[in-house]
Structure 1
Amino acid sequence: MSKIRTSLLAAAAAAGALALAAPPALSAATPEAQSPIAASPYLYNGWGEPPSPSEVMSATGITSFTLSFINSDGTCNPAWDGTRPLDGQDAATIEEIRAAGGDVVPSIGGYSGTKLSTPCADAQALAGAYQEVIDAYGLKAIDVDVEADEFNSKASRDEVVEALKIVEENNPGLLTVVTFPTTTTGPNANGEDMFAKAAEIGADVDVWTQMPFDFNGTDMAQDTINATEGLKEALKSAFGYSDAEAYARSGISSMNGKTDVEGELVDQAAFQQMADYAEQNALGRFTFWSVNRDRPCNGGDPSTCSGIDQQPWDFTEIVAGFQS
């Protein structure tokens, strides 16, 4: 998601991949928990002094989180950061969130690490790795965060889209999100190619979510709106959606505070403008990277704070207002 975490992920990867036994399935989401897709800020157990999710829920009213990141353990097996087993620390986090009445969306991929599409031989094998995650946690939704080499490789993009079609067919009702980089005017050729592949094979991705940051934005609210309008038009072109359908399949995943690009900054006012736009147009998803950073710095490093003047959980509270 953000290059800020690259060095931390490299250190985690150096710890070595763990052999995974089949984890026991966690309890399914509580019946009162709504779809976790629409408003689920990213929470990352691998860095940045992750806060207690139940405490954040109590303070803000947020009910869902996107937990990151699941990657390859060196083979076609999923592990958190490629090192933490599915039945470990992150499973405990999921239980904590569900015990508080919420739910989760595991995010598969991200900026760093070995993506599952690399060692998994084909779409069927990749779908099997996704299925292992779905079964482990009794999921309602998954997010596949397609970035870096995976986003730049047509073979990898195609494999991801084909695998998502398989898991959708095998898990009726499962919600799927694809998250990917953008330009200030909308998807680039790689993004448009993903849409074309999905339309060609009938992969019914629920929400295509752009990351409007690290893209040399100058007016982050307006650039994000422009990028999302470009996304909406690209989805209409690829799938034949109406405006309303295309907005419902569009998502925004911003970054709070200072981004990885010098001078690029998302403050609370800009983020609220994005949220208002998302609400007015009934977007399918509005989120940000990350809850770990949704705090004032007080001398902390960029993995633990936003770099701007704020109160704890300012951005999470705005996302909570988008819950439906």
Structure 2
Amino acid sequence: MSKRFPGRRLSPVRLSIVAAITGALVVSTVVGWNRFEDVRAAAGGGSWFAGYVDATATPLYPFEQPVSEQGRSVVLSFIVADPQEGCTPSWGAAYSLDEAQTELDLDRRIARLTQDGGEVAVSFGGLLNDELARTCTDVRQLAAAYRTVVERYDLTTIDLDIEGEDLADAEAAARRAEAVALLQEERRADGEPLNVWLTLPVAPSGLTVGGTDAVTAMLDDGVDLAGVNIMTMDYGGSREAGVSQLDASIAAARATHSQLGVLYDRAGTSLGPQTLWKKIGLTPMIGQNDVPAEVFDLEAAAAFNAFAVETGVGRMSMWSLNRDATCSDNYGDVSLVSDSCSGIEQDGVLFAELLGAGFEGRAATLNSVPTTPEATPELIVDDPETSPYPIWSEEATYVAEDRVVWRGKVYAAKYWTSGDVPDNPVLQAAETPWTLIGPVLPGEKPLPVVTAPPETYPGWDAEKVYEKGDRILFDGHVFEAKWWNRSDSPEAALQASDSSPWRKFSSEEVKELLDELQ
């Protein structure tokens, strides 16, 4: 039989090189494909803007007559449980659905807006009254209550605003998730899928534990979340002194993005970063917030919009269209929140126009995301020659402010830690002892190590007994005894071993010491 490819056979070394190159190409191809799928999935859903409208606040806001193009989509608020009938939906616990039509002309006004090309979503819940799941304890009756609202107003999108006592009620969360999953399944079978957004309070550090639990409940019951909308407002004590409302809101968005990735991973669906941004909504409270010291002004709105467009968030909203105007001269104290004005001078500029710029999609665009193959992580090998700080070690012990390099990034320890991987994904910042500082920059080198001259302290002697507080030199480093010891080499302390009886001085401490001895 003749050879198809005559010539020399490959040696084992050449075969290993070919295998390595092939493996690298496969990894590159898989990673590239997942990035492509991430971009494609993110592009599949439109980013949309819709301001909230307090449907029962007086004077009634004429949402059916939008004053700008950005006002053509609205989120009407809030459907809550009727105070006397826990499974009956009402508007603000003040109007039944029929009464809202009779006394507020709500159905007619909704019809006018949609006929003119506008779009209406409805929000359930809010802070002041009971969301239906708290008072309606039968899941099928609860699903029927949601269905009544969806069908009456011919909705493609609903918003579940869960906060306050509603957020703390785990049993209500379980009922809500089961009922919404049931409703979605019914609608999907009828060819009328339903978008579901979960609106939650947030801190600059991200979603609270109650918020992550609410998302988990939805995902565990199979709810296809269009996204998680965070209320970037009323931070109170969670916003550190000197941090602007804008910076706190951007930090909250970034933290939520990270948390949402962990939650979807735990639910068995791996989503890429761009797809995750598409599943995030942002809702600032315009002008004066409920917390007197917090004001979200026009400049912040423009910058927040730029951040949202750049990152590709799926939704932008605001509380509220009712308030998108300068207060009249007879409104005495603008630091007190008004239902009908922002509390700041707007000079004829609308928050809706600033926040809604660049959001041209519609809420009806489904944002369901197909599960994509898990991406093969790109291996980053840290190089001590180009790392400004030591490479993180599982065996080492670190204390507050210690800095390490791990997978191309610099981390700072928040407190004593050992064995905690710096990039371990967590839901809350408090769950990790590490703070991400940023990437290792091109051209960086290890920071110089400050050593002490030989005459500073005696050298280590294996035969000598050392008491707590004794200081020695070892390889130019200063060490201090943590307790009585003998024959224990400081070598272990060089590796940051906590079991060593020696503590090595940092370069900063050595420098301070030498300055004192001069």
User: Normalising to structure 1: TM-score of the pair?
Assistant: 0.84
1:256 aligns with 2:272: no
1:168 aligns with 2:205: no
Structure-1 residue corresponding to 2:116? 100
CA contact (8 A) 2:231 2:283 kept: yes
Structure-1 residue corresponding to 2:253? 228
Question: In the TM superposition, what are the counterparts of 1:68-83 in structure 2 within 5 Å?
Answer: 68-73=77-82, 74-75=84-85, 76-83=87-94
Q: Following the alignment from structure 2 to structure 1, what is the Cα–Cα distance between the partners of residues 216 and 134?
A: 22
CA contact (8 A) 1:36 1:141 kept: no
Q: Following the alignment from structure 1 to structure 2, what is the Cα–Cα distance between the partners of residues 244 and 37?
A: 12
Structure-1 residue corresponding to 2:175? 159
Residues 162/252 of structure 1: CA separation in 2 closer, same or farther (3 Å cut): same
CA contact (8 A) 1:180 1:191 kept: yes
Question: In the TM superposition, what are the counterparts of 1:120-131 in structure 2 within 5 Å?
Answer: 120-131=136-147
1:194 aligns with 2:214: yes
CA contact (8 A) 1:297 1:308 kept: yes
Percentage of matched positions with identical amino acids:
26
1:47 equivalent among 57, 61, 64: 57
1:317 equivalent among 324, 337, 353: 353
Structure-1 residue corresponding to 2:309? 279
User: SS of the counterpart of 1:323?
Assistant: coil
1:294 aligns with 2:330: no
Structure-1 residue corresponding to 2:390? none
Structure-2 residue corresponding to 1:3? none
Listed one character per residue, the Cα deviations across residues 208-266 of structure 1 (whole Å, up to 9, x for unaligned) are: 11101111244111111111111111111011321112111111111000000011010
Question: In the TM superposition, what are the counterparts of 1:177-188 in structure 2 within 5 Å?
Answer: 177-188=197-208
Q: Following the alignment from structure 2 to structure 1, what is the Cα–Cα distance between the partners of residues 196 and 311?
A: 20
Q: Following the alignment from structure 1 to structure 2, what is the Cα–Cα distance between the partners of residues 121 and 312?
A: 48
Structure-1 residue corresponding to 2:132? 116
Deviation at 1:129, TM superposition (A): 0.7
Q: Following the alignment from structure 2 to structure 1, what is the Cα–Cα distance between the partners of residues 168 and 64?
A: 37
Q: Following the alignment from structure 1 to structure 2, what is the Cα–Cα distance between the partners of residues 62 and 40?
A: 7
- Counterpart AA for 1:193: D
CA contact (8 A) 2:49 2:70 kept: no
Larger mean Cα displacement after TM superposition, 161-170 or 206-215: 161-170
Larger mean Cα displacement after TM superposition, 100-109 or 211-220: 211-220
Q: Following the alignment from structure 1 to structure 2, what is the Cα–Cα distance between the partners of residues 36 and 69?
A: 25
- Counterpart AA for 2:234: D
Q: Following the alignment from structure 1 to structure 2, what is the Cα–Cα distance between the partners of residues 311 and 130?
A: 41
Q: Following the alignment from structure 1 to structure 2, what is the Cα–Cα distance between the partners of residues 36 and 279?
A: 12
Q: Following the alignment from structure 2 to structure 1, what is the Cα–Cα distance between the partners of residues 295 and 134?
A: 33
1:244 aligns with 2:274: yes
Residues 205/297 of structure 1: CA separation in 2 closer, same or farther (3 Å cut): same
CA contact (8 A) 1:183 1:227 kept: yes
Alpha-carbon RMSD across the aligned residues, in angstroms, is: 1.9
CA contact (8 A) 2:81 2:88 kept: yes
Structure-1 residue corresponding to 2:244? 219
Q: Following the alignment from structure 2 to structure 1, what is the Cα–Cα distance between the partners of residues 176 and 70?
A: 33
Deviation at 1:46, TM superposition (A): 1.4
- Counterpart AA for 1:52: P
Q: Following the alignment from structure 1 to structure 2, what is the Cα–Cα distance between the partners of residues 288 and 127?
A: 28
Structure-1 residue corresponding to 2:75? 66
Q: Following the alignment from structure 2 to structure 1, what is the Cα–Cα distance between the partners of residues 47 and 160?
A: 12
- Counterpart AA for 1:71: V
Gapped runs of 5+ residues in structure 1?
Answer: 1-34
Bigger Rg over Cα: 2
- Counterpart AA for 1:318: L
Deviation at 1:174, TM superposition (A): 1.0
Q: Following the alignment from structure 1 to structure 2, what is the Cα–Cα distance between the partners of residues 48 and 268?
A: 25
Q: Following the alignment from structure 2 to structure 1, what is the Cα–Cα distance between the partners of residues 76 and 347?
A: 23
User: Normalising to structure 2: TM-score of the pair?
Assistant: 0.53
Listed one character per residue, the Cα deviations across residues 261-291 of structure 1 (whole Å, up to 9, x for unaligned) are: 0110100111121111111111111111001
Q: How many residues align?
A: 289
Listed one character per residue, the Cα deviations across residues 153-183 of structure 1 (whole Å, up to 9, x for unaligned) are: 1112222222221121111221111111111
- Counterpart AA for 1:297: C
Q: Following the alignment from structure 2 to structure 1, what is the Cα–Cα distance between the partners of residues 96 and 177?
A: 25
Q: Following the alignment from structure 1 to structure 2, what is the Cα–Cα distance between the partners of residues 273 and 124?
A: 44
Listed one character per residue, the Cα deviations across residues 24-82 of structure 1 (whole Å, up to 9, x for unaligned) are: xxxxxxxxxxx998211011121142332243x24344320000111111320111112
Larger mean Cα displacement after TM superposition, 86-95 or 245-254: 86-95
CA contact (8 A) 1:39 1:286 kept: yes
Q: Following the alignment from structure 1 to structure 2, what is the Cα–Cα distance between the partners of residues 38 and 77?
A: 30
